[in-house]
Amino acid sequence: MINIPQKLVFATNNVHKLKEVQAILGNAFQLLSLHDIGFIAEIPEDYETLEENAMQKARYVFSRTGYSCFADDTGLEVEALNGEPGVYSARYAGEDKKSTENIKKLLMKLNGVENRNARFRTVIALTLSGKDYLFEGTVNGKIIDSPNGFDGFGYDPVFIPDGYNQTFAQMPLALKNSISHRGMAISKLVDFLKKQ
Ligand code: IMP
């Protein structure tokens, strides 16, 4: 039997993500951000796969703080671009990580391209009592020609999930959470924790 820690660190300071995950987690666990535990060191993300990067982040925090910890890494994988921007989604258009620039670059690359199929893929790595686990969530959809909507973050304004006619940036947060890549990965994480 693994002893479930009541306190779990989510290795992020992204307030949008924290809000999304907190909504899904409910009261089952006490979620702490890096800020909450006073962790200010920059966490490396040196690898070329979502799995390796997520695991590196979770282990990095655990090894320095002793807190059980999970970390996520997400990429937008566009079929016509052979999976680009993928692991480089945040810094697609440069190290200043500007969403508007990333979207601009993406739309330029897809200019005139008929195949608009894309998916978001989230990998969550959990380091719990010294053991490592991976969880994955994906959502398929299409990239539209120009941004639509103001909520959300990242590529939300240009992504319409299959079965809907709104972009992630036009949807209420609760709806996005219920169908999103991150929502699915978090649900798997929560199911796992509850079974321990
Ligand atoms: P991260 O690994 O969650 O930091 O995600 C890397 C990058 O993927 C972000 O900087 C965003 O550009 C993009 N991204 C991740 N999740 C989402 C999402 O839910 N909507 C839109 N873009 C996202």
Tell me if 109 is assigned to some domain: yes
Is any ligand 1 atom within 6 A of the Cβ of residue 92?
A: no
pTM over cut 0.95: no
* Overall number of domains in the chain: 1
**What is the distance between the alpha carbons of residues 136 and 127, in angstroms, rounded to a whole number?**
15
> Of residues 36, 73, 162, 191, which has the active-site annotation?
73
Q: What is the CATH number of the domain that holds 16?
A: 3.90.950.10
Tell me if 144 is assigned to some domain: yes
Tell me if 31 is assigned to some domain: yes
151 is catalytic: no
Longest dimension (CA), the chain: 55
79 Cβ neighbours under 8 A, 6+ residues apart: 115, 117, 118
Tell me if 62 is assigned to some domain: yes
Using alpha carbons only, give the angle 117, 121, 125 rounded to the nearest 5 degrees. Answer: 170
Among protein residues, the one whose CA lies closest to atom 11 of ligand 1: 154
Is any ligand 1 atom within 6 A of the Cβ of residue 167?
A: no
Tell me if 155 is assigned to some domain: yes
Tell me if 2 is assigned to some domain: no
Work out which ligand 1 atom sits closest to the CA atom of 99.
12
Tell me if 1 is assigned to some domain: no
**What is the distance between the alpha carbons of residues 29 and 31, in angstroms, rounded to a whole number?**
6
Q: What percent of the chain has pLDDT over 90?
A: 70
pLDDT values of the chain reduced to their tens digit, one per residue, 196 residues? 555 447 889 998 887 777 777 777 777 678 899 999 999 998 888 899 999 999 999 999 999 999 989 999 999 999 999 999 999 999 999 999 999 999 999 999 999 999 999 999 999 999 988 899 999 999 999 999 999 999 888 999 999 999 999 999 999 988 998 999 988 998 899 888 777 7
- Note down the domain range covering 188: 7-195
